[in-house]
């Protein structure tokens, strides 16, 4: 056998740290103990962000081995494979090897006091498998094999290995250098692995960040010998954390999860898995889990509770809910569910309970994230989500990937890994439009640092140029697009040229023209959009404009051409029998739950007195100051959760919930239309119960057991009997889901034996469930951008179905924006955009003016643009902050700020800073990052002040509940004026 | 579905920081308790040189030979698992400290008290390294990323010349050995001290050129050498003490009665 090695491709690595998680699981390593580590390297003066996977170099002349004072050495080198190993039974933990390694690639376990190092997973190799890191890598950035063939492979791909042997140690590990980027002023600069002045940001993992991990936080399978964590069964499952919806293999030892790996049988993901999926190990047996029902005994927020039985908890809750209904009516109950709750519970059990109870006030986190794109998809395509798939023949065949407001690399790392891989294999181009040089932007050929909140202007300018140059796909438009000519005329009439858009977007007109031409001429362009587009007051219109960009260039209903806005949606919307539904007498207060606070505080437009919260609204509702006052005014707050948090501290009753594998569930709605089934594999901890169990039990206490009978406590039964009634899911039965080793089915499937469809809406096809000859499931069978009916809908909320430009009211330049003519206390008008009667506040467009709201704030010193969003891949909302390893990787809340601005403010990397908007203030650690617009500040979501390791106030103390899209009621979370100072 | 695996032998369990700190505190408490109770104790328990305290000293010294034996076992490959020896050196070290403290009967104004200070220093450095410096060592991982960006330079050429020299020397020191994985063992030092010294000097020069020890925080870079140096000082002192009280008992007694075993005529 030749010399074994890892080949690490820096162009493919996205810094997600999935390899780190896999490694720690595989080898049972606790905090501070590393065999590999992905270091994020920034450069103070350049917008570069790069990642270096540090792992043992398996040197021919291992300095560590020579430094070991033990005889025979506690470090040995296999002469056949070149692999250098630690003999842990001989190591006394003196640390001489750690000192000796010039690459900093020798690990040291500070708890067990011994050297640890990568041995290329010797035990896995003995079983005929490769290293764990390579198996899970979402970007296929880590390859394993004999060194010479790996080098030949790299040469065949035209790649250049990095020269990194100044010490003559002859390292075996191969690093493939970054590729040079396109030219141009806004092009992403080439990032060779060279400048020594690169450094890791102070907010990334460090020794200080590990200090809070008490011994009780680290439980098996970590820090225990391998034989103590051997599984007795390995079952296929799926991750329920995020919207990538990875398929997994859950390794179980009795009722204990000892490892989670990717499912290598999955024909799409092939074992790729992101760090969160694997960190699921730490959800189970977690010392912070809620394990028994609790009843508040102190005042709200004091966190004093007494444990009670389920019988008492549910009995008392039912009694108090009954009293609320008796006094205030059924509409006085609100139910708020989030991503933690799970799709089946949120869209199934809770929906049915709401219908039986008679409250319209049932909502999830969509109005914070995605209602803008949902409504836009429904208007344009008639159904939510792209019809394309993550397959080589579909998305893998595109010539251009354009990301606008979508940091896919950090939010869906595995999908991005696939896209990036196809980009490199096929020589496709990638362009990213984002105020930040995100990880996604770091891989792009061009990065356009747009002013936040102005993507609508960019889209309009690109459309203008495409129409003006005749670059649109006219045959496609004529056959498949309704209203495109009206849009063309409107855009021309308004003069939405690239020159018009340049000062708005802060992008050169030439860049916009070039991008428009590139999109129009590409042989297949996939436009990705996400929260950067959705979390604005112009969410629906921006989505429609970007959809129009895809449509008029013929990038819709074809392989390798698409508009994607994160997740395809899941058609789960069961209805109780009409005779059992209790029709609410009032419309939903507002679509956005933050529009409920007036109802909670002052009973306007009608009282909302009780709330059942199924995630953490006291962190994730925008405008926290107001939200917290509203929660304090509730007569009853019930909280169903996995971990104690701000909401549970204020709740009257806290009910301990279960995770996916503790109850049975499906994965999240994802881009790829895959429904991933997760079996119940273990019991929840203590007295915790699945959400299904809780809702069925609660329903029983109100006489709803005919619709939610006892057997529906099993989500698998509920799935087959209720949810597969939807035509799109009819063939997605438990039997079919369990007939494949990866447990997923790509929908729609009309019958158990119906084939899955790789690409929907292809030319000559009829859309699923649509009338004959209708290629798209809209009333006209075409992609609809303007119709009389749509115009009337938009007029009802004060806008037009034509794409009139407006932005946010808090901007560094004065731009048109929307203003509600009534506040949330008013009755409002019924919105035509929602499926159930929902009140909305009418709005009007306000022209740009030099004395506008932005100007007033700027005069008060708010001179930076705050953008909020997701932190790096290991974190998702608040869940992961209870998992020690996610916190080890990214411990502290941070505020990214441009080094030039930081210097002017006297702020150094890692300093404690105060970020303030007109709506509130928080503290965070500064992360100096030149990969930002110089005027942008970025603060991530997910941190909360009651989290166990690194508590920080939620970013939503900075956001504003009143800045919402009149169409979708979506909150603006991406453009707020702020100021930053040293705390 | 289950994977078959070849399981390596489990390492000997570590003492763990908590237990180590607890052991330290117990040791200090025992020494403090003796110091507090000292005036109340019978004469035989508070006067240096009494048969009781003499035997206590002998027992303490014997226990403190275990750490020396650990050092020997670790470097010769004899005596079994180095990790077991390591644990033994901790346990016997702590117990030895207590016994030596009792043996000294709190007389800190005399030269042997310096030995006791060295002993306390040994413990302090050892415990500090295990509990605190270990964190720094773990944080070293991934902290030397500039090494991946450093081009070959004049230092590389100096290293190349040095390696040639090492290889030439090694051919004389240990013909069958490979420079890539070789460092002198105790056997080499005993058999060929001059060549071993020369080789170690070259290895130190290589290390200096690579620069990792200089770049490391002071405590991480030097704690072990300080620990070893204190150990050498202690054992040298111990030998001197044994020789003095055995062969120069009159000098040690300074006119008082000699109650310990000694050789008066030699």
Mean pLDDT of A103-110: 95
Mean pLDDT estimate for chain B: 90
Q: Range with the lowest mean pLDDT among A111-120, A212-221, A650-659, B158-167?
A: A212-221
Instruction: Select from B1, B11, B137 the Cβ nearest to the Cβ of A108.
Output: B137
Of the partner residues A93, A105, A207, the one whose CB lies closest to the CB of residue B136: A207
List the structure tokens of A626: 């107001």
Pairing of strands A864-869, A936-940: parallel
Q: Does the N-terminal peptide bond of residue A221 adopt cis geometry, omega within 30 degrees of 0?
A: yes
A513 vs A102: CA distance, rounded Å: 49
HSE-up of residue B110 (Cα within 13 Å, Cβ side): 11
Whether A837 and A879 have beta carbons less than 8 Å apart is answered as no
Q: Per-residue pLDDT averaged across A579-600, rounded?
A: 97
Q: Encode chain B in three state secondary structure.
A: CCCCCCCCCCCCCCCCHHHHHHHHHHHHHHHHHHHHHHHHCCHHHHCCCCHHHHHHHHHHHHHHHHHHHHHHHHHHCCCCCHHHHHHHHHHHHHHHHHHHHHHHCCCCCCCHHHHHHHHHHHHHHHHHHHHHHHHHHHHCCCCCCHHHHCCCCHHHHHHHHHHHHHHHHHHHHCCCCCHHHCCCCHHHHHHCHHHHHHHHHHHHHHHHHHCHHHHCCHHHHHHHHHHHHHHHHHHHHHHHHHHHHHHCHHHHHCCCCCCCCCCCCC
| C-alpha to C-alpha distance for B12 and A406, rounded to whole angstroms | 49
Alpha carbon distance B22, B24 (integer Å)? 5
As a whole number, mean pLDDT of residues A19-44 equals 93
Q: Mapping DSSP to helix (H, G, I), strand (E, B) and coil, where does residue A516 land?
A: helix
For chain A, helix, strand, coil in percent to 5 are 30, 20, 50
- Strand A817-820 to strand A843-846: parallel, antiparallel, or no bridges (unpaired)? antiparallel
Provide the pLDDT for residue B265.
72
- Tell whether B158 and B53 lie within a shared domain: no
Q: Are residues B211 and B221 in the same domain?
A: no
In chain A, domain spans? 4-200, 294-364+574-656+674-746, 371-567+783-801, 853-982
Reported confidence tier of residue B109, pLDDT bands at 50, 70, 90: confident
Q: Does B254 touch chain A (CB under 8 A)?
A: no
Answer yes or no: is pLDDT of B106 > 80: no
B143 contacts chain A (CB < 8 A): yes
Same domain flag for B114 and B46: yes
Q: How far is C-alpha A227 from the geometric centre of its chain's CA atoms?
A: 36
Both B51 and B104 in a single domain?
Answer: yes
> Is there a contact between A647 and A617 (Cβ–Cβ < 8 Å)?
yes
- E strand or H helix at A47: strand A46-55
Q: How many CB atoms lie within 10 A of CB A218?
A: 18
pTM to 2 decimal places: 0.95
Measure the CA–CA gap between B158 and B141, rounded to whole angstroms: 27
Helix, strand, or coil (residue A965): coil
Nearest to A71 among B75, B86, B129 (CB): B75
**Domains A4-200 and A853-982 agree in fold:** no
- Per the structure, the count of domains in chain B is 2
Pick the CATH number of A853-982 from 2.40.40.20, 3.60.10.10, 1.10.150.120, 3.40.50.920: 2.40.40.20
Tell whether B1 is covered by a domain.
Answer: no
Q: What percent of chain A has pLDDT over 90?
A: 91
Cis peptide before A605 (omega within 30 of 0): yes
CATH number of A4-200: 3.30.70.20
For residues A758 and A560, the answer to whether their CB atoms sit within 8 Å is no
Inter-chain contact A108–B16, Cβ cutoff 8 Å?
Answer: no
pLDDT (mean) for B43-68: 92
CATH of A294-364+574-656+674-746, one of 3.90.850.10, 3.40.50.300, 3.90.660.10, 3.40.50.740: 3.40.50.740
What is the chain A residue with the closest CA to B140? A104
**Residue of A36, A166, A264, A742 to mutate for B, most B C-beta atoms under 10 A:** A166
Higher pLDDT, residue A189 or A788 = A788
- Tell the burial category of A253 from Cβ atoms under 10 Å away from its Cβ (0-12, 13-18, 19+): middle
Q: Indicate if B183 and B86 belong to the same structural domain.
A: no
What is the Cα–Cα distance from A237 to B26, expressed in whole angstroms? 50
pLDDT at A88 exceeding the cut of 60: yes
| Beta-carbon separation of A54 and B142 below 8 A | yes
Q: How many CB atoms lie within 10 A of CB A355?
A: 24
User: What's the average model confidence in pLDDT over A855-863?
Assistant: 97
B148 assigned to some structural domain: no
Mark whether B98 and B23 lie in a shared domain. yes
Q: Is the pLDDT of residue A185 over 50?
A: no
Helix (H, G, I), strand (E, B) or coil at A109: strand
Q: Which residues of B touch A98 (CB under 8 A)?
A: 137, 140-141, 220
Name the residue facing B180 among A32, A60, A108 (closest C-beta): A60
What is the pLDDT, as a whole number, of residue A48? Answer: 66
Query: Does B80 reach chain A within 8 Å, measured CB to CB?
Result: no
Same domain, B133 and B196: no
Determine contact, residues B59/B99, Cβ cutoff 8 Å.
Answer: yes
| CA-based nearest residue to A64, from B44, B212, B25 | B212
Q: What would the pLDDT profile of A917-951 be if each residue is shown by its tens digit?
A: 999 999 999 999 999 999 999 999 999 999 999 99
The DSSP call for residue A771 is P
Long-range contacts of B83-89 (CB under 8 A, 24+ apart): B83/A89, B83/A90, B83/A91, B83/A92, B83/B11, B83/B12, B84/B12, B85/A92, B86/A92, B86/A93, B87/B12, B87/B15
Residue A123 to residue B7, Cβ atoms within 8 A: yes
> Which of B141, B158, B220 should one mutate to test binding to chain A, selecting the residue with the greatest count of A CBs within 10 A?
B141
* Cβ-based neighbours of A154, under 8 Å, separated by 6 or more: A7, A160, A161, A174, A176
Does the pLDDT value for residue A711 go beyond 80?
yes
**Interatomic CA distance for residues A491 and A599, integer angstroms:** 41
Using the predicted structure, report yes or no on whether residue A43 has a pLDDT greater than 80: no
Helix (H, G, I), strand (E, B) or coil at A509: helix
Q: For residues B170 and B89, state if they share a domain.
A: no
CA angle in degrees (0–180, nearest 5) for A338-A342-A346? 65
| Same domain assignment for residues B96 and B166 | no
**Which one of B11, B141, B211 has the shortest CB-CB distance to A54?**
B141
Average pLDDT, chain A: 95
Q: Does the pLDDT of residue A397 top 70, yes or no? A: yes
Same domain, B71 and B105: yes
Q: Using a CB-CB distance cutoff of 8 angstroms, which residues of chain A are in contact with residue B81?
A: 89-90
Q: Tell whether omega for the bond before A72 is within 30 degrees of 0, i.e. cis.
A: yes
How far A70 CA lies from chain B's nearest CA (Å)? 5
- Find residues 19-58 of chain B whose CB sits inside 8 Å of chain A: none
What chain B residue is nearest to A233 in terms of C-alpha separation? B2
Residue closest to A462 by CA, chosen among A491, A435, A485, A434: A491
What is the per-residue pLDDT for A128? Answer: 95
Closest to A399 (Cα-Cα) out of A256, A553, A513: A553
Does any domain span residue B27? yes
User: Residue A681 is encoded by which pair of tokens?
Assistant: 């594999």
Please answer yes or no on whether A198 and B83 come within 8 Å at the CB atom.
no
For a pLDDT cut of 70, what percent of chain A falls above it? 97
In angstroms, what CA-CA distances link A672 with A263, A613, A746, A748, A783? 17, 29, 7, 11, 20
Nearest residue to A641 (alpha-carbon basis) of A619, A613, A663? A613
Quote the percentage of chain B above a pLDDT of 70: 95
Give the residue from A546, A543, A524, A521 showing the smallest Cα distance to A534.
A543
Candidate from A37, A39, A89 with C-beta closest to B9: A89
Confidence at A81, pLDDT banded by 50, 70, 90: very high
- Chain A CB contacts of B22 under 8 Å are none
Q: Give residue B48's domain range.
A: 17-137+217-253
CB A919 within 8 A of CB A976: yes
- Spell out the CATH class of A371-567+783-801: alpha beta
Residue A35: closest CA among chain B residues belongs to which residue?
Answer: B141
State the count of interchain CB pairs (< 8 A) between A and B: 216
Task: Tell me the sheet residues that pair with A868.
Answer: A939
Residue A297 · residue A305 · CB < 8 Å: yes
**Complete DSSP assignment for A673-724:** -EEEEE---SPPSTT---HHHHHHHHHHTTT-TTTS-GGGGSHHHHHHHTGG
**Complex-level ipTM beyond the 0.85 threshold:** yes
**CB contact at 8 A, A749 and A740:** no
Report how far apart, in Å, the C-alpha atoms of A282 and of each of A19, A116, A884, A952, B76 are: 16, 22, 8, 21, 43
| Residue B1 in this model has a pLDDT that exceeds 50 | no
Minimum-distance CB partner of B140 among A98, A129, A226: A98
Rounded to whole angstroms, the Cα distance separating A459 from A78 reads 59
Provide the residue count of chain B: 266
The pLDDT confidence band at residue A381, using thresholds 50, 70 and 90, is: very high
Which pair of structure tokens corresponds to residue A823?
């506040």
Q: Mark yes or no for CB contact B134/A113 under 8 Å.
A: yes
Assign B179 a pLDDT band (cuts: 50, 70, 90).
very high
Within 8 A of A225 by CB-CB distance, chain B residues are 10-11
Residue B7 lies in a domain: no
Q: Give the pLDDT of residue B7.
A: 43
Nearest to A59, CA basis, from B185, B195, B210, B231: B210
- Where is A64: in which H helix or E strand? helix A63-67
Cα(A530)–Cα(A394) distance, integer angstroms: 20
Q: What is the pLDDT of residues A109-154, one digit of tens each?
A: 998 999 999 999 999 999 999 999 999 999 999 999 999 999 999 9
CA distance A32 to A888: 8
Residue B207 belongs to a domain:
yes
Positive or negative torsion for Cα B214, B219, B225, B229: positive
Q: Which residues pair with A363 in a beta bridge?
A: A336
What token pair was written down for A717? 């039964």
Q: Are residues B26 and B103 in the same domain?
A: yes
Q: Does B134 touch chain A (CB under 8 A)?
A: yes
Between B114 and B174, residue with greater pLDDT: B174
Name which of A936, A975, A830, A836 is nearest A537 in CA terms: A975
Q: Please check whether residues B36 and B121 belong to one and the same domain.
A: yes
């Amino acid at each position: 056998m030749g010399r074994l090695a890892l080949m690490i491709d820096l162009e493919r690595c996205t810094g997600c740290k999935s390899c780190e998680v896999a490694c720690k699981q595989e080898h049972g390593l606790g905090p501070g103990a590393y065999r590999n580590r992905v270091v994020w390297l920034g450069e103070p003066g350049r917008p570069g962000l790069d990642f270096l996977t540090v792992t043992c170099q398996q040197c021919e002349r291992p300095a560590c081995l020579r430094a070991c004072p033990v005889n025979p050495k506690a470090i040995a080198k296999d002469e056949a494979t070149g692999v250098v190993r630690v003999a842990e039974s001989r190591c006394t933990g003196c640390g001489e090897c750690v000192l000796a390694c010039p690459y900093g690639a020798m690990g040291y376990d500070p708890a067990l006091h011994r050297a640890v190092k990568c041995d290329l997973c010797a035990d896995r190799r003995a079983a005929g498998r490769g290293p764990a890191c390579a198996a899970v890598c979402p970007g296929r950035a880590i390859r394993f094999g004999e060194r010479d063939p790996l080098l030949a492979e790299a040469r065949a791909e035209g790649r250049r290995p990095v020269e990194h042997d100044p010490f003559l140690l002859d390292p075996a590990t191969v690093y493939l250098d970054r590729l040079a980027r396109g030219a141009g002023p806004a092009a992403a600069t080439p990032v060779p692995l060279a400048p020594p002045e690169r450094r890791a940001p102070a907010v990334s993992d460090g020794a200080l960040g590990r200090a809070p991990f008490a011994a009780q936080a680290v439980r098996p399978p970590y820090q225990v010998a391998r034989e103590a964590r051997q599984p007795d069964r390995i079952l296929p499952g799926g991750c329920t954390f995020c919207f990538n919806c990875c398929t997994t293999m859950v390794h179980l030892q009795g009722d204990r999860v000892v490892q989670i790996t990717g499912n290598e049988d999955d024909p799409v993901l092939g074992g790729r898995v992101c760090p969160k999926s694997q960190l699921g190990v730490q959800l189970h047996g977690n010392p912070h889990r809620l394990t028994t029902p609790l009843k508040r005994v102190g005042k709200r927020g004091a966190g004093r509770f007494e444990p009670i039985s389920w019988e008492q908890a549910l009995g008392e809750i039912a009694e108090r809910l009954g009293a609320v209904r008796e006094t205030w009516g059924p509409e006085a109950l609100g139910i708020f569910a989030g991503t933690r709750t799970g799709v089946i519970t949120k869209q199934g059990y809770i929906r049915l309970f709401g219908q039986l109870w008679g409250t319209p006030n049932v909502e999830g986190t969509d109005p914070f994230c995605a209602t803008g794109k949902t409504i836009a998809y429904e208007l344009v395509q008639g159904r939510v989500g792209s019809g394309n798939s993550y397959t080589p023949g579909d998305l893998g065949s595109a010539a251009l990937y354009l990301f606008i407001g979508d940091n896919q690399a950090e939010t869906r790392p595995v999908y991005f890994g696939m896209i990036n891989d196809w980009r490199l294999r096929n020589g496709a181009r990638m362009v990213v439009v984002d105020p930040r040089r995100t990880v996604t932007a770091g891989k792009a050929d061009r990065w356009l640092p747009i002013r936040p909140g102005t993507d609508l202007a960019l889209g309009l300018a690109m459309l203008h140029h495409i129409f003006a140059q005749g670059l649109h796909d006219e045959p496609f438009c004529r056959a498949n697009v309704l209203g495109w000519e009206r849009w063309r005329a409107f855009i021309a009439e308004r003069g939405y040229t690239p020159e018009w858009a340049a000062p708005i977007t802060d992008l050169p007109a030439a860049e916009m023209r070039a991008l428009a031409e590139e999109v129009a001429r590409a042989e297949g362009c996939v436009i990705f959009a996400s929260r950067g587009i959705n979390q604005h007051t112009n969410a629906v219109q921006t989505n429609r404009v970007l959809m129009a960009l895809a449509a008029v260039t013929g990038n819709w209903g074809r392989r390798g051409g698409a508009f994607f806005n994160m997740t395809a949606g899941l058609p789960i919307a069961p209805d109780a029998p009409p005779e059992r539904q209790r029709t609410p007498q009032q419309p939903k207060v507002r679509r956005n739950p933050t529009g409920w606070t007036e109802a909670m505080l002052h009973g306007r437009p009608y009282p909302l007195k009780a709330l059942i919260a199924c995630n953490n609204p006291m962190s994730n509702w925008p405008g926290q100051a107001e939200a917290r006052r509203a929660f304090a005014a509730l007569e009853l707050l019930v909280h169903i959760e996995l971990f104690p948090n701000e909401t549970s501290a204020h709740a009257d009753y806290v009910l301990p919930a279960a995770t996916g594998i503790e109850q049975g569930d499906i994965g999240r709605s994802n881009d790829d239309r895959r429904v991933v089934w997760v079996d119940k594999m273990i019991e929840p901890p203590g007295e915790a119960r699945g959400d299904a169990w809780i809702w069925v039990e609660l329903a029983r206490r109100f006489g709803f057991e005919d619709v939610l009978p006892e057997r529906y406590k099993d989500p698998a039964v509920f799935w087959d009997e209720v949810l597969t009634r939807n035509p799109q899911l009819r063939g997605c039965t438990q039997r079919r889901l369990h007939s494949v080793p990866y447990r997923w089915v790509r929908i729609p499937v009309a019958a158990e034996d119906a084939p899955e469809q790789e690409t929907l809406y292809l030319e000559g096809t009829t859309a699923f469930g649509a009338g004959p000859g209708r290629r798209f499931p809209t009333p006209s069978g075409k992609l609809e951008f303007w119709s009389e009916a749509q115009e009337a809908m938009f007029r009802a909320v004060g806008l037009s179905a034509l794409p009139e430009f407006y932005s946010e009211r808090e901007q560094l330049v004065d731009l048109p924006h929307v203003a509600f003519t009534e506040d949330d206390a008013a009755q409002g008008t019924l919105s035509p955009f929602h499926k159930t009667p929902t009140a909305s506040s009418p709005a009007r467009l306000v022209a740009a003016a030099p004395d506008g709201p932005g100007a007033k704030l700027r005069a008060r010193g708010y001179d930076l643009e705050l953008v909020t969003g997701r932190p790096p891949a290991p974190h998702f909302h608040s869940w992961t902050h209870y998992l020690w390893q996610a916190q080890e990787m990214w411990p502290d809340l941070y505020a990214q700020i441009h080094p030039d601005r930081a210097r002017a403010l006297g702020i150094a990397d890692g300093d404690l800073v105060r970020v303030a908007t007109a709506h509130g203030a928080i503290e965070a650690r500064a992360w100096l990052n030149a990969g930002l617009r110089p005027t942008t500040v970025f603060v991530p979501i997910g941190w909360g002040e009651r989290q166990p390791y690194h508590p920080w106030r939620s970013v939503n103390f900075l956001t504003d509940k009143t800045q919402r899209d009149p169409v979708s009621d979506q909150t603006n979370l991406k453009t707020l004026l702020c100021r930053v100072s040293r705390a | 579905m289950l994977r078959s695996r070849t399981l390596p032998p489990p390492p000997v369990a570590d003492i763990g920081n908590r237990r180590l700190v607890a052991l330290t505190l117990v040791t200090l408490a025992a020494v403090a308790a003796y110091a507090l109770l000292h005036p109340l104790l019978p004469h035989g328990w508070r006067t240096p040189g009494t048969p009781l305290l003499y035997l206590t000293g002998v027992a303490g010294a014997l226990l403190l030979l275990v750490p020396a034996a650990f050092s020997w076992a670790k470097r010769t490959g004899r005596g079994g698992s180095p990790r077991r020896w390591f644990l033994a050196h901790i346990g016997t070290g702590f117990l030895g400290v207590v016994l030596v403290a009792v043996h000294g009967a709190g007389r800190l104004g005399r030269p042997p008290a310096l030995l006791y200070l060295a002993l306390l220093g040994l413990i302090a450095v050892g415990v500090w390294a295990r509990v605190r410096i270990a964190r720094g060592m773990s944080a070293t991982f991934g902290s030397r990323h500039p090494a991946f960006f450093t081009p070959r330079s004049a230092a590389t050429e100096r290293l190349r010349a040095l390696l040639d020299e090492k290889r030439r020397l090694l051919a004389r020191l240990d013909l069958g050995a490979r420079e890539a994985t070789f460092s002198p063992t105790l056997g080499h030092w005993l058999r060929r001290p001059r060549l071993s010294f020369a080789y170690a000097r070259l290895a130190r020069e290589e290390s200096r050129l690579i620069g990792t020890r200089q770049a490391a925080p002071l405590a991480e870079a030097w704690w072990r050498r300080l620990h070893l140096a204190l150990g050498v000082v202690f054992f040298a002192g111990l030998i001197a003490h044994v020789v003095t009280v055995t062969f120069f008992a009159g000098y040690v007694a300074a006119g008082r009665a000699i109650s310990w075993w000694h050789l008066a005529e030699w």
